[in-house]
Structure 1
């Protein structure tokens, strides 16, 4: 079952050359100090409106652990951590799920949430794309070349046609691109 408008968006922040982290896992480079005068200003109001549109987040356990280290940005919005490990959280909004990804998404989440964001991890991104579970990709490019590290699209193994839905350039030089995934 699926709510009539439910969708899953894969969201990632990447360097221009396609890396989501340095080799050591560091993401300290994910802030831009560029100045693009024609860009959109990332105001508190803009960010707040955007965040209110998300019904839940889906992530892998490594992304969850990294997020706990860096600071929890998700407030009380439900977060579903996909893991086979026995993890704990002191946050009431965090739920740990294990099992087949298609069953978790199709049987447990799509019937309850309309705007779901998958927020991290190369392995999880690859599985969502391979299984055809994602409806769109929202990627924010930081104006930095890392040279190596962890790839965002770690060799998916199949061609997936995309359709550009939107592009936003921000004053800090970041560019957000939203692509719909053409399902065959």
Structure 2
């Protein structure tokens, strides 16, 4: 059952941005489509830089795969000094004090390493890592942001490796830029 592994009071949130047709990246892992500039959705909300900064401050730890880590470095490291765990089998040079590398069992990572130290853990990609967390029931909450673009092909977040599970809708927010944020909690059913 989703979320069973986090009895310590910590919460693992899977957060990802997807296209309307369910892709999180193009086949070449390119995500330039995230910079979509479409028409303004007048009924949508906007968030100030202060609100966004305050929200991000509440995240205690990020977990990401090696390709997401590589992409974050290319972007100029959007995670600041927040502790970050890059799950990878590759050897990487240490570029930041806040980053540690992990290669091993995901349940051990969450239950033994992260849950005792952090309350608000955000899993931010990639697809294989997210699928691994989901299949092991290590995700308590899914925050799926839908971008107003159809890609037609690419890398899917939810591949064929997952089994059926129920999630409870907790919140929906539509933004002025046309993006929609859906928040689901692991179902207790």
Q: Give the match for residue 59 of structure 2.
A: 54
Q: 1-side partners of 2:7 and 2:164: how far apart?
A: 28
TM-score by length of 2: 0.92
Which among 37, 43, 48 is matched to residue 43 of structure 1? 48
- Assess if the C-alpha contact under 8 Å between 1:32 and 1:174 holds in 2: no
Shifted more, 83-92 versus 111-120: the winner is: 83-92
Q: Give the match for residue 131 of structure 1.
A: 136
Is 1:28 matched with 2:32?
yes
Which among 77, 86, 111 is matched to residue 81 of structure 1? 86
Q: Give the match for residue 164 of structure 1.
A: 169
Q: 2-side partners of 1:183 and 1:138: how far apart?
A: 18
Gaps of 5+ in 2: none
Relative to structure 1, the CA distance from residue 14 to residue 134 in structure 2 (aligned partners, 3 Å threshold; closer, same or farther) is same
Alignment of 1:56-135 (within 5 A): 56-135=61-140
Shifted more, 30-39 versus 49-58: the winner is: 30-39
Pairwise CA distance, 1:3: 7.4
Give the secondary structure class of the aligned counterpart of 1:160. Answer: coil
TM-score by length of 1: 0.95
Q: Which runs of 4+ in 1 moved over 4 A?
A: 1-4
Q: 2-side partners of 1:107 and 1:99: how far apart?
A: 12
Q: Give the match for residue 10 of structure 2.
A: 6
How many positions carry a matched residue from both structures?
184
